[in-house]
């Protein structure tokens, strides 16, 4: 995704069109290879994070909600939950040990030389939905890459002060990336994707003060 076409409309509209129009065939082979490595890395981290204290607390909370829907897997356990709950539990597990993949910054004004952890939001959301709906692997891979691309491009575009002043970009930008991936998997039109991004933007949050 590049910025050249952005002048044709709003940036949100351009991103929404990218989400709606991207197909598996549009993704370069080299990108797919790197993406699959990040997916495997994320799955391994989810297994490790599933035994973390945070993972156990989250699962206990979700079990307490009393749903009988068993649509998607909670990785590292024998549990199945509604897709949104499984995505929540798996997302926390992927990021629990903070070893997940990192988008490196090239600009000198970026603190610590990094921007976001793209797989932690994009993988759990698209994986849970793909499992729930029985989608082919190519559809899942397309959605995952769309989510990562949107998250990383937003992380590149935001003012460096976003992170410097305490916002956690993996949470703020990652919310939009997860929404983009899910919109792709659901086959949203550009108008639907635009609305999805707007809702996600209203809900995006996260501060570094919680790092511990």
Residue 22: alpha-carbon gap to chain centroid: 17
In the predicted model, what is the mean pLDDT of residues 77-89?
A: 96
pTM, rounded to two decimals = 0.91
Report domain extents, the chain. 22-211
* Pairwise CA distance, residues 113 & 142, whole Å: 28
With the CA atoms of 29, 31, 33 and 36 taken in that order, what torsion angle do they form, in degrees rounded to the nearest 10?
A: -130
Instruction: Decide if domain 22-211 falls under CATH 1.10.4100.10.
Output: yes
Query: Could you give phi then psi for residue 207, rounded to 5 degrees?
Result: -125, 145
Mean pLDDT of the chain: 92
Tens digits of residue pLDDT in 131-167: 999 999 999 999 999 999 999 999 998 888 888 888 8
Is the separation of the CB atoms in 206 and 163 below 8 Å?
no
Range 112-123 average pLDDT: 89
Section 10-25 average pLDDT: 97
What is the structure's pLDDT at 212? 59
Position 29 pLDDT exceeds 60: yes
pLDDT exceeds cutoff 80 at 111: no
Residue 116 has φ and ψ, to the nearest 5°, of: -165, 165
């Amino acid at each position: 995704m590049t910025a050249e076409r952005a002048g044709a409309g709003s940036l949100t509209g351009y991103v929404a069109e990218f989400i709606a129009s991207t197909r598996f065939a549009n993704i370069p082979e080299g990108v797919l290879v790197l993406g699959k490595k990040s997916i495997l890395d994320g799955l391994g981290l989810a297994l490790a994070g599933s035994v973390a204290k945070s993972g156990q607390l989250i699962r206990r909370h979700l079990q307490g909600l009393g749903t009988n829907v068993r649509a998607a897997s909670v990785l590292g356990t024998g549990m199945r939950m509604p897709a949104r709950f499984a995505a929540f539990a798996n997302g926390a597990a992927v990021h629990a040990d903070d070893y997940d993949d990192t988008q490196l910054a090239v600009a000198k004004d970026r603190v610590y030389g990094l921007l976001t952890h793209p797989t932690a939001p994009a993988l759990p959301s698209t994986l849970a939905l793909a499992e729930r709906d029985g989608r082919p692997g190519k559809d899942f891979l397309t959605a995952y890459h769309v989510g990562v691309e949107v998250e990383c491009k937003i992380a590149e575009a935001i003012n460096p002060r976003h992170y410097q002043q305490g916002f956690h970009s993996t949470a703020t930008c990652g919310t939009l990336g997860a929404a983009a991936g899910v919109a792709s998997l659901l086959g949203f039109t550009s108008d639907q994707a635009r609305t999805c991004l707007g809702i996600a933007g209203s809900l995006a949050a996260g501060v570094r003060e919680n790092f511990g």
